[in-house]
Chain A
Amino acid sequence: MTDPRVPAGPEVFDPKLQELLNIPQKILRRLAVSANGFVFDPTTGQSFLCNETGLDLLHRLQDASSPQELLQDLAREYAVAPRTLERDLLEFVGLLREHLGV
């Protein structure tokens, strides 16, 4: 689903967000993620729940080769204004970092 009103490209995003998105792949890849959104970190013993959107974001974070690539994908996929995407991502990544202790 692409919204032609949403300009694609990383330049619209806050560089701080790109930095926050840069969670080490070593940490993201070790997570046990169930289809129902239950996430378990086998190193810290932390577990938490993601909703459908959060689960999608987590999978994209695990698969993305770089924060820039992720941001471009999300801008293409989600029909939301850049500011909204930025705000939602900031909230999600903040919570994720808290749960992962990074």
Chain B
Amino acid sequence: MGTFTHTVAVTGLNARPDNPGPGLAVARCLREATDFRGRIVGLSYDALDPGLYLREYCDAVYLLPYPSTSSLDYLDRLRTIHAQEKFSYLIPCLDVELPGFTRAQGMLLDLGIHTFLPTNDQLRMRNKDNLEKLGSMAGLQTPRTAVVTRRDFFQTCEKDNWHYPLVVKGIFYDAHIVASRYEAEEAFHGIAAQWGFPVIVQEVIKGQEYNLTAVGDGKGQLCNPVMMKKLATTDKGKAWAGVSIEDDVLLTASRQLALALKWRGPLEVEVMRDQDGRYFLIEINPRFPAWIYLSVGTGGNLPMNLLQLMDNHTPAPVPSQAGQLYIRYAAETVAPIAHFEALVVDGGMTLRNFGK
């Protein structure tokens, strides 16, 4: 694959400091690739998503209706943006978008939009309520997990040997560590209202968190895995600082998962290592993580590898360099109010032509 000169659409530009979406980091990886000379179209859901205002990464930005709206409206909006920007590649970056994009792959291809996504079966298999099976595929233990649809669970759970603190998680996003029945019920209601049912309850594993990201080639192999240990987290448990590592147990488990699932597309594998050195699979995310820029810092570029796979090229193996530290930071950007106006009134704009 030579110099890349096409237009790529990237979603998930909600780069909020305490819980950023991965889209902006993906755009940054592409922009910094030496062989990328294409355009980047940023797609997001809220006019105040910071990535919509960063012209150094996006050439054009547009708002989409939330994925929970009708899929026809969503795809119509995508068609309209495509008619204007003619993007040929699409990288969805949010869990909640994936079922819809996976179903629409044929329609997208008819429009000339290439994707590289997991199948519906693969998405179902990695669901948080399927963790035990995934753990067995990976050869790892899993924390005790319950799929909960009623608040009553918390009234009786202690009798069934569920001891606080517990983790209460949404099926797509969000996780709260709760120390009492009162906190558990509050988290249950909040998560169910935002992300729907079921809600996942897990025992807390005390230890260090290690994550891996890579791209599955759809045939059972992982391309250019990058691993990191979280050194600091936000209040929501999101990585704020980390360091790249080479962990054979995590790598072998992830390779086994990719092989068993024949995973297609980006993924993130999250594990905890307890004080006795035992590894527990926590979850698998079907997309790049917000810390994906570390793949550039360790010598590779996984978003570029994804584009290569979309073009039926096998990415060259790049060894990931351990000992690269990353620290996330918060900064402000300044834009004229007309920029915000263009987003809320017109639904988007070309940034390169937009005056400061």
B-binding residues in A (CB < 8 A): 32, 40, 42-47, 101-102
CA of A42 to CA of B208, assembled, Å: 14
CB contact list, B74-91 vs A, under 8 A: none
Report yes or no: A42 in contact with B246, Cβ–Cβ below 8 A: yes
Interface membership of B247, Cβ < 8 A: yes
Name the residue in B228, B229, B248 with the highest tally of chain A Cβ atoms < 10 Å from its Cβ.
Answer: B229
Show 26 residue pairs from A and B whose CB-CB distance is below 8 angstroms, ordered by the A residue: A32-B323, A40-B243, A40-B323, A42-B245, A42-B246, A42-B322, A43-B245, A43-B246, A43-B247, A43-B248, A43-B322, A44-B208, A44-B229, A44-B245, A44-B247, A44-B273, A45-B229, A45-B231, A45-B242, A45-B243, A45-B244, A45-B245, A47-B243, A101-B273, A101-B277, A102-B277
Residue of B nearest to A45 (CB): B229
Q: Which 3 A-B pairs have the closest CB atoms?
A: A45-B229, A42-B322, A45-B245
Interface membership of B280, Cβ < 8 A: no
Interface membership of B57, Cβ < 8 A: no
Distance from A45 Cβ to chain B, minimum over Cβ atoms (Å):
3
A-binding residues in B (CB < 8 A): 208, 210, 228-229, 231, 242-248, 273, 275, 277, 322-323
Given A32-B323, A43-B246, 18 additional A-B pairs, CB 8 A: A40-B243, A40-B323, A42-B245, A42-B246, A42-B323, A43-B245, A43-B247, A44-B245, A44-B247, A44-B273, A45-B210, A45-B229, A45-B231, A45-B242, A46-B229, A47-B243, A101-B273, A101-B277
Specify which chain B residues have a CB less than 8 angstroms from the CB of A47 in the assembled complex. 243
Distance from A24 Cβ to chain B, minimum over Cβ atoms (Å):
12
Number of A-B contacts (CB under 8 A): 32
CA of A44 to CA of B275, assembled, Å: 12
Specify which chain B residues have a CB less than 8 angstroms from the CB of A46 in the assembled complex. 229
Distance from A35 Cβ to chain B, minimum over Cβ atoms (Å):
16
CA of A45 to CA of B242, assembled, Å: 8
Specify which chain A residues have a CB less than 8 angstroms from the CB of B228 in the assembled complex. 45
CA of A43 to CA of B252, assembled, Å: 13
CA of A51 to CA of B248, assembled, Å: 30
Name the residue in A32, A44, A102 with the highest tally of chain B Cβ atoms < 10 Å from its Cβ.
Answer: A44
CA of A101 to CA of B210, assembled, Å: 14
Distance from B206 Cβ to chain A, minimum over Cβ atoms (Å):
13
CA of A45 to CA of B323, assembled, Å: 7
Residue of B nearest to A47 (CB): B243
Distance from A29 Cβ to chain B, minimum over Cβ atoms (Å):
13
Distance from A100 Cβ to chain B, minimum over Cβ atoms (Å):
10
CA of A44 to CA of B277, assembled, Å: 10
CA of A24 to CA of B323, assembled, Å: 21
Distance from A19 Cβ to chain B, minimum over Cβ atoms (Å):
18
CA of A45 to CA of B250, assembled, Å: 13
Name the residue in B243, B244, B273, B277 with the highest tally of chain A Cβ atoms < 10 Å from its Cβ.
Answer: B243
Specify which chain A residues have a CB less than 8 angstroms from the CB of B275 in the assembled complex. 101
Specify which chain B residues have a CB less than 8 angstroms from the CB of A32 in the assembled complex. 323
Residue of A nearest to B275 (CB): A101
Specify which chain A residues have a CB less than 8 angstroms from the CB of B229 in the assembled complex. 44-46
Distance from A36 Cβ to chain B, minimum over Cβ atoms (Å):
15
Distance from A88 Cβ to chain B, minimum over Cβ atoms (Å):
25
Specify which chain A residues have a CB less than 8 angstroms from the CB of B248 in the assembled complex. 43
Distance from B74 Cβ to chain A, minimum over Cβ atoms (Å):
40
Name the residue in A32, A43, A45, A101 with the highest tally of chain B Cβ atoms < 10 Å from its Cβ.
Answer: A45
Specify which chain B residues have a CB less than 8 angstroms from the CB of A45 in the assembled complex. 208, 210, 228-229, 231, 242-245
Specify which chain A residues have a CB less than 8 angstroms from the CB of B247 in the assembled complex. 43-44
Distance from A34 Cβ to chain B, minimum over Cβ atoms (Å):
11
Distance from A5 Cβ to chain B, minimum over Cβ atoms (Å):
41
Distance from B241 Cβ to chain A, minimum over Cβ atoms (Å):
11
Specify which chain B residues have a CB less than 8 angstroms from the CB of A42 in the assembled complex. 245-246, 322-323
Specify which chain B residues have a CB less than 8 angstroms from the CB of A44 in the assembled complex. 208, 229, 245, 247, 273
Distance from A43 Cβ to chain B, minimum over Cβ atoms (Å):
5
CA of A16 to CA of B242, assembled, Å: 36
Specify which chain A residues have a CB less than 8 angstroms from the CB of B231 in the assembled complex. 45
Specify which chain B residues have a CB less than 8 angstroms from the CB of A43 in the assembled complex. 245-248, 322
CA of A78 to CA of B20, assembled, Å: 54
